[in-house]
Amino acid sequence: MWAVRPLNGSWRGKTPFSDSDIREALLGTLEPLSEARTKPGERRVSARRGRVGEENDFFSILLGAETMDRIVLTGGVPLRGDVEISGAKNATLPILASTILGGGECVITNVPRVVDVVTMGKLLGILGAKVHHEGNRAVINAEVITSTQAPYDLVKTMRASVLVLGPLLARWGEATVSMPGGCAIGSRPVNLHLAGLAKMGAEVSIEHGYIRAKAKRLMGAQIYCDTPTVTGTENLMMAASLAQGTTVIENAAKEPEIADLANFLVKRGARIVGAGSDVITIEGVRELHGSDHDVIPDRIETGTYLVAGAITRGAVTLNRCCPSHLDALLMKLREAGVEVEAEKERIHLNAAARLKGIDIRTLPYPGFPTDMQAQMVALMTAAEGTSVITETVFESRFMHVEELRRMGADIKVEGNRAVVTGPTKLAGAPVMASDLRASAGLVLAGLAAEGTTEILRVYHLDRGYERMEEKLRGLGAAITRHKEGAAPAETC
Ligand code: UD1
């Protein structure tokens, strides 16, 4: 995200701008005044620091293109050593969105430094919250909100922006949120978010590409989700926290990130029981106060480094993770012949033995996570025999398969199943990332491949993996990043 080139700019007055000014302006830590595109690939950002009227109070900078970096890696090195797991992106996003449910300072730690989190910080800044984000700590105060609108320009870069819908509506009585579009993995509707809010008494309409929702005060309701939806459950749980009366969400999603959000809300005064199970009961309260919270470890990042160890026939130790959130994956890795030993907050993996082909079916939690599917398809190319990987959560999540085939993999896609025949010695090739987890799958394939793999469009990876090349280098991987031209903003 900081990979933008300043073309010119200054604080009004004398002080020249600095890198940290740019960073703070983009994060929304400085009060944002305006942001506009000038030519394609350029942005003009204006922001203010300090009180109006002070010298040097306005900052305006013309920024060049965000870079579309490339990753180049040479495969064949068994990974060895320790890696520290970051906080969960998918827990951080709803937790940050939920800060607008009440006033008071919220101090969130173990926040991963990834682009999606920066985008959420920026959205909160646009809504008027005070956001200060430094290292892995974010301090947010949403005592005052100046806007209830999440603009298209932001939502199109990250569909999880829709998580501000429930909180805005519940606390401020209205919300206008750009309708998220489809993305590389399927159509991804938000009908269940909207139906649940309507059940709670909101007037909901779609106008000119925007979701408009209004309600004087939401009313508790009995809501049944036709399919368990993660962000849908989060949106409804946040909205119900301030509703009048009791809400019951049935067939709720059970992901650990939902329980983490509920724990944070309860610390702030919400009354929620059952988060993490398929029935969540929320007794609405009048207001929420500020609180501290330490985000849970990222189970998908953990899984990705486990597969990195397995696919390179290495031996890795993952620290500061939560093995109990990864039962399905650990069982599948063991079934494939990988030695995995789990402690309370640590996992040791040893993949010296031959890998066996296995079948996998993605399902909502506690089933096998769809966010680990691409990585496991890559792993199965190195396993002996036939593996069938069935994707049941998203409709078109096999974009990585074409790229893996270009590296020599034998994979057939039949409907929602990928049939992988192995083992194949993959050969390095230039490949294109299509979404966050597909990119991770390609990095893993590159780590196992003979020769050099060049991964294009790695901005997808930056959305969800903190310092990935650095962490992989720490395990012995030969991986480097090269800075290149302009990155488009894409939805997912
Ligand atoms: C979240 C995760 C994403 C993960 C996904 C599934 C975040 C920020 N993102 O996405 O990384 O891949 O869960 O584990 O946490 N559906 C509907 N109507 C709706 C909502 C969802 O039909 O209103 C369907 C979807 O099309 C999909 C299924 O429900 O088939 C699950 O999607 P959902 O759990 O909502 O995914 P996200 O919350 O978008």
* Nearest of 242, 250, 222, 224 to residue 283 by alpha carbon: 242
Question: Active-site residue numbers?
Answer: 183
- Quick check: 293 and 108 in contact, CB under 8 A? yes
pTM given for the model: 0.88
266: CATH: 3.65.10.10
Q: What is the C-alpha separation between 299 and 282, in angstroms, rounded? A: 26
pLDDT-derived band at 207, boundaries 50, 70, 90? very high
Residues 264 and 302 both lie in one domain: no
Give residue 23's pLDDT: 60
Residues 215 and 79 both lie in one domain: no
Q: What is the C-alpha separation between 18 and 295, in angstroms, rounded? A: 31
In a domain, 232, yes or no: yes
> Residues 80, 84, 86, CA angle at the centre, nearest 5°?
140
For 185-283, where are the E strands, in sequence order? 203-207, 210-214, 222-224, 246-250, 271-273, 279-283
Identity of the amino acid at 473 = R
Residues 261 and 332 both lie in one domain: no
Give residue 87's pLDDT: 98
In a domain, 224, yes or no: yes
In a domain, 492, yes or no: no
Give residue 319's pLDDT: 98
Identity of the amino acid at 282 = I
- Going from the Cα of 230 to the center of ligand 1, the distance in angstroms, rounded, reads 5
Residues 177 and 320 both lie in one domain: no
Question: Domain count of the chain?
Answer: 3
Query: Does ligand 1 lie within 6 Å of residue 190's CB atom?
Result: yes
Q: Rounded to the nearest 5°, which phi and psi values hold at 474?
A: -60, -25
- Going from the Cα of 19 to the center of ligand 1, the distance in angstroms, rounded, reads 36
Residue of minimum CA distance from atom 19 in ligand 1: 190
Query: Does ligand 1 lie within 6 Å of residue 260's CB atom?
Result: no
Residues 54 and 74 both lie in one domain: no
DSSP-assigned letter for residue 351? -
Residues 288 and 318 both lie in one domain: no
- Ligand 1 pocket test, pick from 229, 298, 390 with the greatest ligand atom count within 8 Å of Cβ, gives 229
Domain membership of residue 49 as a residue range? 4-66
Query: Does ligand 1 lie within 6 Å of residue 188's CB atom?
Result: yes
Q: What is the mean pLDDT of residues 247-260?
A: 98
Query: Does ligand 1 lie within 6 Å of residue 192's CB atom?
Result: yes
Q: What is the mean pLDDT of residues 393-402?
A: 90
Question: Does pLDDT of 251 surpass 50?
Answer: yes
Q: What is the C-alpha separation between 219 and 221, in angstroms, rounded? A: 6
Query: Does ligand 1 lie within 6 Å of residue 160's CB atom?
Result: yes
Residues 146 and 20 both lie in one domain: no
pLDDT in tens, 128-186: 999 998 899 999 999 999 999 999 988 888 999 999 999 999 999 999 999 986 666 66
Question: Does pLDDT of 14 surpass 50?
Answer: no
